[in-house]
Amino acid sequence: MVRRDYYAILGVARNAGMDEIKRAYRTSALKHHPDRNPDDPEAERRFKEVVEAYETLSDPESRKRYDAMGPFYRPDGRPPTPEDVNELLSRTFGGWFKRKPGKGKAEDLRHEVTVSLLEVALGCDRTVDVPRQIRCSRCQGEGGEPGGGWKSCDDCKGTGKVQTPRWFRTACPRCDGSGRVLVRPCERCGGEGRHGTVERIKVKVPRGVGSGQKLRIKDKGDHPRGGGPVGDLVISVVIAPHPLFQRRGSDLLCDLPLTFVEATGGAEVPVPTLEGGTVIVVPPGTGSGKVLRLAGRGLPRLKGDERGDLHLKVQIEVPVHLTPEQRDALARFAARLDSANHPRRQAWDQARRDAHREWEEHRTRGGSTP
Ligand SMILES: [Zn+2]
Ligand SMILES: [Zn+2]
């Protein structure tokens, strides 16, 4: 990794004395200290950079070595790697100085919205309160107090460039090539050029949205430090569980408990749908596990006007808590049943008896027991 110029990091001139270096170090270290910038990895990186710059420049021996080697200097004293050299050359010739100093990278923000299945069916608008960093309007994102926050850099006479014949770098170390130095930070943003706010943002959740689907809202992320492209707000959709319906793609699944009387004799049964409900006709002799399908009563598909189906899965509920009279009635009913009333049970009983007979025959023929 090629290092930034140590003098620029501390904001001191190349010929700065030890006292000036110490003062600059104390100011910068305090500003970027992780304790004062919790959860800000950028500040932590800058803090380490400040410490590294100070450790090198405060020791006369290593400062001499740094002045001689410039960007190839390594604190551990090892020679530069070929990668270091390549990186430096590509920066020097590859437009390093065309880049506006301090330009940040777009920062996306992440947020979650929870919607109900009905809202999936109909689509909905949501408002979310998003804490985000916006460009400071007091200083127009520049970081300096309006009217005198910045002054032209003395070292380079505002050009941002210096002649250093020893190495390629020609950016002024004091102003890091920008040609100006901050003398009074903006009162609203403290020189950051941006500050926190909570913005109420409208989110359009489309019909048929999937669980975990991401909705991207352009330019509602953070404004980066020092200007540059604004990030997006990325909304993850969470679908709240429904007490009756399960989702499978655009289809809905629902249990349908029937009494054994309804299942036996057939019945008209009210069932739930997302739009309140309807009545279905259960045909006589409907068995447990049978699925009744209501076409077009599922969720809309993301594309097109079609909707999925609602699948109702029959579960016959065995009556419990019978009174003596009910048991009596059931016994009288059972006495009138014959085998034709339960064809599956009849076939099963037949198979059971056959299997038993086969075993008996095998044994009487004197076969071995397994
Ligand atoms: Zn400001
Ligand atoms: Zn300068």
Residue 97: predicted pLDDT: 37
Distance 115 CA to ligand 1 centre (A): 38
73-87, 159-173, 185-199, 319-333: which is most confident: 319-333
4-8, 209-213, 317-321, 327-331: segment of lowest average pLDDT: 4-8
290 pLDDT band, cuts 50/70/90, is very high
Give the torsion through C-alpha atoms of 190, 192, 193, 194, to 10 deg: -90
Ligand nearest to the CA of residue 185, numbered in listed order: 1
Give the tens place of pLDDT for each residue, 218-236.
999 999 887 788 999 999 9
Residue 31: predicted pLDDT: 83
5-14, 219-228, 286-295: which is most confident: 286-295
99-117 mean pLDDT: 76
**Is residue 310 pLDDT above 50, yes or no?**
yes
Distance 158 CA to ligand 2 centre (A): 6
Distance CA 88, CA 130 (A): 40
Give the tens place of pLDDT for each residue, 149-159.
899 988 888 88
3 pLDDT band, cuts 50/70/90, is low
353-365 mean pLDDT: 92
Distance CA 125, CA 350 (A): 62
Q: Are 220 and 233 in contact (CB under 8 A)?
A: yes
Distance 25 CA to ligand 1 centre (A): 24
CB contact set of 239 (below 8 Å; sequence gap of 6+): 114, 115, 116, 117, 120, 209, 211, 247
Distance 223 CA to ligand 1 centre (A): 13
Ligand nearest to the CA of residue 180, numbered in listed order: 2
Distance 60 CA to ligand 2 centre (A): 24
Residue 367: predicted pLDDT: 61
Q: Which has the closest alpha carbon to 171: 45, 338, 5? A: 5
Q: Are 170 and 162 in contact (CB under 8 A)?
A: yes
Neighbours of ion ligand 1 (CB under 5 A): 136, 138-139, 186, 188-189
99 pLDDT band, cuts 50/70/90, is very low
Distance CA 348, CA 77 (A): 87
Distance 215 CA to ligand 1 centre (A): 31
Higher-scoring residue by pLDDT: 88, 317: 317
Residue 348: predicted pLDDT: 96
Mean pLDDT across the chain: 86
79 pLDDT band, cuts 50/70/90, is low
Distance 281 CA to ligand 2 centre (A): 85
CA max distance for the chain: 116
Distance 9 CA to ligand 2 centre (A): 13
Residue 101: predicted pLDDT: 41
Higher-scoring residue by pLDDT: 228, 210: 210
Distance 159 CA to ligand 2 centre (A): 7
Q: Are 290 and 316 in contact (CB under 8 A)?
A: no
Ligand nearest to the CA of residue 158, numbered in listed order: 2
CA angle 216, 217, 223 (to 5 degrees): 115
Ligand nearest to the CA of residue 143, numbered in listed order: 1
Q: Which has the closest alpha carbon to 51: 17, 1, 12, 9? A: 9
Distance 48 CA to ligand 1 centre (A): 25
235-262 mean pLDDT: 95
Using only C-alpha atoms, what is the Rg of the chain?
39
Distance 14 CA to ligand 1 centre (A): 29
86 pLDDT band, cuts 50/70/90, is low
137-146, 197-206, 222-231, 334-343: segment of lowest average pLDDT: 222-231
Q: Which has the closest alpha carbon to 66: 23, 27, 8? A: 8
**Is residue 96 pLDDT above 70, yes or no?**
no
Ligand nearest to the CA of residue 189, numbered in listed order: 1
198-221 mean pLDDT: 94
DSSP string, 159-214: SSB---TTSS--B-TTTTTSSEEESSB-TTTTTSSEEEEEEEEEEEEPTTPPTT-E
216 pLDDT band, cuts 50/70/90, is very high
Distance CA 49, CA 43 (A): 10
Ligand nearest to the CA of residue 134, numbered in listed order: 1
What 8-state DSSP symbol labels residue 305? S
For the chain, the straight-line distance linking the first and the last C-alpha, in angstroms and rounded, comes to 76
